[in-house]
């Protein structure tokens, strides 16, 4: 009997509480996270696995508007543009998919894949280029679409990009399957990511990719500026202080002699930014 009681007491530990929490449904999500963090501290759950679990649990709380690339930052192709104008835009942006518009950005008529343009690379094919042969159907989703539902739809219809529309049917932005997956597994390196040993990296003649966690002192030394670090320690803090909140991806703010555009962010922090000098740098405060 004593052993039976001991076993029952053991089941009342973190494993037992985890089972009861899971049975309690989504209303117990916060408790579930705390239990998993406890398991992580004990070495029962891998740190990376815990991060993915937390990311997966937040999927039901986030909506398409939280991760979308804002309308103003969308790189669009006009349906009537010649190939000679389309190719430079595709190469410069480095993206793999582009909304194609007819008129303004509210009139998205399809999606163009960069890889499809390889068929038009030859001189003869370029001369006969017809956008209608390359257009793929565009998928439209409301701003309030939950990320977990959106991910299921991406997987089900094999689309990698959706156009986000507001309540009036106007285009608010776009979102990709990569944006959604990164909420679970973390950042996927691409051309905008800063190398692990670099906080500031040149990305063109007058543009830089800067990690949000870069210290103000390092930024000042690199750009010969004098931003104050009395109220905040990092570049992310500088930008959030200016805006008064955590910005969305694609938002831009001018501070001193620089323009800061958010590349990657979540609800809690800024991961990386594009920084561009907009005029001759002067002392900033």
- Indicate if the pLDDT at residue 188 is higher than 90: no
**DSSP type of residue 146:** B
Mean pLDDT of 17-34: 60
Q: Which residue is it, tokens 């561009």?
A: 276
Residue 2 has pLDDT above 50, yes or no: no
Q: What is the arithmetic mean of pLDDT over 123-133?
A: 75
List alpha helices for 24-172, DSSP H. 29-41, 47-57, 64-67, 83-93, 123-127, 147-157
Domain with CATH 3.30.465.10 in the chain: 200-277
Question: pTM score, two decimals?
Answer: 0.58
CA distances from 218 to 173, 178, 192, 224, 275 (A): 34, 31, 20, 10, 14
Cα dihedral sign for 87, 92, 98, 99?
Answer: negative
| Alpha carbon distance 252, 179 (integer Å) | 19
- The CATH class for the domain spanning 200-277 reads alpha beta
3-state SS, residue 262: strand
Mean pLDDT of the 77-88 span: 87
Return the CATH class of domain 65-185: alpha beta
Selected residue with higher pLDDT from 204 and 153: 153
Domain with CATH 3.10.580.10 in the chain: 65-185
In this predicted model, what pLDDT tens digit does every residue of 132-147 receive, in sequence order? 888 999 999 999 999 9
For 191-202, what is each residue's pLDDT tens digit? 445 445 688 988
For the record, the structure tokens of 83 come out as 């190939």
The share of the chain scoring above pLDDT 90, in percent, equals 28
């Amino acid at each position: 009997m004593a052993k039976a009681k001991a076993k029952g007491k053991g089941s009342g530990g973190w494993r037992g509480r985890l089972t009861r929490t899971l049975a309690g449904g989504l209303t117990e999500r916060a408790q579930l996270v705390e239990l998993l963090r406890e398991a992580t501290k004990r070495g029962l759950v891998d740190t990376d696995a815990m991060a993915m679990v937390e990311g997966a649990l937040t999927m039901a709380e986030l909506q398409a508007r939280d991760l979308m690339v804002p309308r103003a930052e969308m790189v669009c192709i006009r349906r009537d543009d010649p190939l000679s104008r389309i190719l430079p835009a595709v190469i410069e942006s480095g993206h793999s998919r582009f909304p194609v518009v007819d008129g303004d950005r509210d009139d998205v008529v399809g999606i163009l894949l960069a890889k499809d343009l390889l068929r038009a690379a030859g001189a003869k094919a370029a001369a006969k280029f017809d956008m209608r042969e390359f257009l793929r159907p565009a998928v439209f989703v409301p701003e309030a679409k939950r990320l977990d539902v959106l991910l299921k739809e991406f997987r089900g219809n094999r689309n990698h990009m959706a156009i986000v529309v507001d309540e009036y049917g106007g285009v608010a932005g776009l979102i990709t399957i990569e944006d959604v997956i990164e909420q679970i597994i973390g950042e996927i390196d691409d051309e905008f990511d800063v190398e692990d040993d670099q906080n500031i990296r040149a990305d063109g003649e007058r543009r830089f990719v800067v990690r949000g966690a870069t210290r103000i002192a390092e930024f000042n030394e690199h750009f010969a500026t004098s931003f104050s670090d009395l109220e905040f320690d990092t570049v992310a803090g500088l930008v959030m202080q200016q805006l008064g909140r955590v910005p969305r991806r694609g938002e831009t703010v001018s501070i001193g002699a620089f323009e800061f555009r958010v590349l990657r962010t979540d609800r809690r922090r800024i991961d990386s930014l594009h920084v561009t000098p907009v005029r001759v740098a002067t002392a900033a405060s």
